[in-house]
Each structure stands twice: as structure tokens, then as C-alpha cells.
A and B are shown apart, each in its own frame.
Chain A
Amino acid sequence: MAIKFDKVSDGQYQLDVCGYVCPHPQMYTKKALQKLQSSDELTLIFDNPSSGESIIAMCETEGDEIFERAEGNGSTTWKIRKG
């Protein structure tokens, strides 16, 4: 169970923090988004609901857009476009 951060293709990244609880998911998401360029997209996979609340607020503050959300297999997948 390790954090996985990969570049999928140009402008497309994926961060998988499943199995991690607060504060890891939101802090890794922040670090990942810092590495992205504006309009790059990050697919975030996590399974700690309370981190989701913090990530929503963080994106709102930073101007990043969560444009797709999906639930399944006990985890949540969000697609975030860097503002």
C-alpha cells in the first residue's frame, strides 16, 4: 500500500492514495497539484471520505475544478483540472 503518482500522458496525471487517512490524502493532493501546469488534469483515487471534504475546499480556494466524480469498489475517483 504505497502512494502512487504517475504521469499517464501529456497533461494527464494520476494520484492513488487509497488506504491512507488524514492528513495524507489532502497533503499529497496539494503536492501533486503543485507539480501540475494550469489546465493539466489529475485523476485522484482515495478512500478516506473526510479528506474529500478538505480537498473540495482546497480546490475551491485555489481555483482548481473538480469536474468529474465517481464512486466504486470502496473508493472515490475525482478528476481535477488545475486552475
Chain B
Amino acid sequence: MATDSTQVLSNPGLLAHKGGYKAMALVALITILSLGLLANDMRWIYLLVYVWFGVAYGVFLQYGRFCMASAIRDLFAIKVPRMAVGVMIATALFSITAGLVTVSGYSTFHPHPLGWHIITGGLIFGFGMIFTGGCASGSLYKTGEGNMGSMLVLLSISFSMALFADLGSWSNSLAPASWAESALDKGMPESLTVTDGWFDLFTAGYVWNLSGGSVADMIGTGNVWIDVFVGNVLLTAILPSLLILVILYMSTYRKGYIRRNKLESLSFGDEMSGIWAMITSSKNTAIAGLGLGIFAGLQMWATGALREHYEIFNFGELLMKMGYSEGLSIQETVFDPGYWYITTQEAQLGGWVMNLFGRDVTDNIFFGLQNGIPNPLINAPLLMSAGIIVGAAILSLSRREFKWKVPNVETAVFAIVGGALMGIGARLGMGCNVGAFFAAVTNGDLTGWIFLAGMLIGGLLGVKAFNAWLNRKSADDEFDI
């Protein structure tokens, strides 16, 4: 039985084929561009940290085929836990590095407010991603493999989020009257028209009334090491991840493990060996999880240190000092999470393009007050996403896995519709599988697990709907013997 994937992943030698040269050319290109930027102004280092961490994420994502859509879909559709195992390993490991960063005082993470929008957003996001074939981060690395369908998903996510954040007056009646009253009470500048547009009403009239916090804050012993490592790391990330690993083992892996090893009754030691076998059978995914966990922590530390060095709270301040004021929010800020994040910067891209074509999106809270719509060339988190695409392209070229793939009509429709649902879900849930789940649960924010619960329900419904579609198709013609 084939028990490893070495033949699929074999590397014939970087310079033994054209792809290797192309990969090296890409590395050289971004190195030269980076050095050029630094020669222009050393302060671009802040933006380049995003870019190069993005490249590293892209390499790890492609190496481990790391994809949340795959984790949920393969689990429900074909009972394969491989990716879900990898995600849980990454979660446990990232929580440790994130904990160290938090204790050191360089954490850039802010817990999300808790409300119904988290699980609803997760559900819509999870349903959509089954049809697109990739989550927010998965679609980025697959784009780097030459998959044009995934690029279509990214565009659909970007514009659906921008359009959703910019819903017009017609959508006001869909929001409860109490949201309008509450939004008005916030005393926001008139230019933001906070009572006009469903998403503004949702933000100012609902989300801003909610509160959130990390488990470390809840424990509050006064000893930061205990608060962070017991509350955020152990209770919020590691123990739930271990519990999920055990559930995955019992529900999917154990049966095959018993059969392959011809076991009749399992001792506790056998069960532990089985769990370890499950973890090591998805070696590439686990290694990717390890790398992502370490680098995601390092990025928070690097950005936090740079903020301290430049005495800023937000990249917008640095951009102002460097003479770039266009596209900043009215607070002179831009979206600058300081950690691995995917969707908000994609919404900014959509908003920037809409603005370019004459649609003023800056009268919305999302763009006008919170995130801005900076030029994509100086949008640091967006360049992190571009870095993920480049990093995945570098590795897939070097492994001879890069291939331009043009989607057929079915895949394109799924990409656009599924991507739009992912975009709406991401804005409702305040993030995607990375920002709303991965970065949250690893920083002591329990809302991440609620977002995952929503994604699981949405994913299960998505798999059922997808299966119904396949059955309908096979009944028509294609899949009959």
C-alpha cells in the first residue's frame, strides 16, 4: 500500500529543469525589488517584513498543501483527517510562539467582539469554500501554483467584501431600527454616514456594542506568564487542539490503523501509537503547520519591534512621515494587523478598484474610518498576500508542480459564487480561516473556535450540497459506467 507521498513531492534538483531557474529568478526579482526599496528609504522595511513573511507562508502553504477547505471538506466528504490534523498541529504550535510574543510585549493581536455574527460568518464562509475548492489562504497558494480558478476566487472574495461593506441606502431597512439609534449615539463624523448602509449599521450599531477579550485577560492573576501560557496557550489552543486530534483519530483514522496493523484489542500504548501514526502520516502538513506556527509568531514580534523602533502604532503614521497620505483612513491609519491575515486587505483591493472607477467607498466605516484604501503597491498586508502567491509559485516551480490551469465554466461559476459567499462570510465574521480562526484561537480569543464551529456547519452543508450536485450530474451522463 502506498503510505507516503515522496513520489508526488520528489524534487529532481533545483537547476535540473526550467522551473528551478524560474523559481530562482523569482527569488532574485523580489530580492532586487526589496533592496531597491530599502535604498530609497529604509523605512520600507516595515512593508518588506509583510512581504517576506508572506513569501515564507506561501512556501509552507504549498509544501503542506495547507488548506482549511481541504481540512473540512476531506473530513466530511472522504473521511480523510490529514489536513485537519495539520491545522490542529499548527494551532498548538502557533499558540506557543504567539504566547512568547505576547509575554514579550510585542503582540499586535486584538481579540474580536463576541456575537452571533461570528458563527453566522463562519457558516457562510465554510459553505462557500467547499465550492471554491480552497479557503482564503488555500486560494492564495493555489493561485501561486498557476490555478486561474483560484485567482478568480480571490477576485470574487475581494469585490464581494468591498461591495458588502459599501451596501447602499436600499439595505438600511434590512437592519433593526435599534442599530440606527445606536450607531447615531457613537458620534461619528458626518462624512462616514454611519446610518446609511447595512454594513455601517451592523458595525456601529451592533458590533461596537459587543465586547471581547482573551482568556489571559479573564484569568488575570497578575502574572503575565501564567495568564498567557495557561489561559491563551494551554486552555484556548493546546487542549482543544489535542481533544480534536483525539476525536479525529477515533472517528476516522483508528479503524484503518487497526486493520493495517492487524490489531485485535488496543492497549493505551497502541492508541497513543495510533495517534502518533496519524500525525506522522501527514508529515508534510505537520511540517507546514510547524513552520507556519513559528513564522506567524515571528511576524508579530518583528512588526511589534518595528512599531516600537519607529514609535508608531500603525503603518499609516509611517506612510504619512514618508509622504504618502493618499488612501489613508480619516484617522490617518491603514489596515495593519501585524500578523498573518488574509481578507481585509483583499477587500481594500476591491475598494481601491471601485474608487478608481468613481465609486466613493470612503463614506463607509470599514474603509473610511478603519482600514483606508491605500494604493495596492504600498498596501503592506496586501503585499503579504502577494508574497504568499510568489512563495507558493517559487516552491511549486522548483518542485515541477506549477501549471497554468484555466477553469471550465462549472469551476468558474463555483469560484465566483463560492468566493462571493466567502467574502460575505469573512466580513460578517470579521475574518477568514486565518484571521477569524487561526490567529484568534492561538492568541487566547475563544471567538476563533466559534468561527470554526460555524465553518464546520457550513462545510457539512456545503459537502451535502456539492454531493447533490455531483449526483445530479452523474445521473445526467458523465459518471455512468
- A-side residues, CB < 8 A to B, are 1-7, 13, 19-24, 26-28, 30-32, 35, 47-50, 52-54, 56-63, 65-67, 69, 71, 74, 76
Contacts and interface: CB of A to CB of B under 8 A. Distances in A.
B79 A61 contact: yes
Contacts of B481: 5-7, 13, 35
A5 B407 CA distance: 20
A57 B77 contact: no
Contact of A63 (B4, B256, B405, B478): B256
Given A26-B74, A50-B142, 12 more contacts: A19-B408, A22-B69, A22-B133, A27-B466, A28-B470, A31-B479, A49-B8, A50-B65, A53-B284, A53-B285, A54-B82, A57-B282
A31 B469 CA distance: 13
Contacts of A21: 133, 142, 147, 149-150, 405, 407, 411
A27 B8 contact: no
Contacts of B147: 21
A76 B285 CA distance: 21
Contacts of A22: 67, 69-70, 73, 133-134, 142
Contacts of A20: 411
A63 B256 CA distance: 7
B78 interface: yes
Contacts of B149: 21
A59 B79 CA distance: 11
B1 interface: yes
Contacts of A31: 470, 474, 479
Given A49-B8, A50-B67, A74-B403, A56 B478 contact: no
Contact of B478 (A5, A23, A54, A62): A5
Given A35-B481, A52-B5, A26 B78 contact: yes
30 contacts: A1-B408, A5-B481, A19-B405, A19-B408, A21-B411, A22-B73, A22-B133, A22-B142, A23-B69, A26-B78, A26-B80, A27-B77, A27-B466, A27-B467, A28-B470, A47-B403, A49-B401, A53-B285, A54-B70, A54-B78, A57-B81, A57-B281, A58-B79, A60-B1, A60-B3, A60-B260, A63-B1, A65-B1, A65-B2, A67-B2
Contact of B78 (A27, A35, A66): A27
A2 B256 CA distance: 33
A57 B281 CA distance: 8
Interface in B104-142: 130, 133-134, 142
A61 B1 contact: no
A51 to B, nearest CB: 9
B262 interface: no
A61 B285 CA distance: 17
Contacts of B1: 59-60, 63, 65-66
Kindly name the residue among A3, A21, A52, A56 whose own CB sees the greatest number of chain B CB atoms within 10 A. Answer: A21
B408 A53 contact: no
Contacts of B255: 61
B468 to A, nearest CB: 12
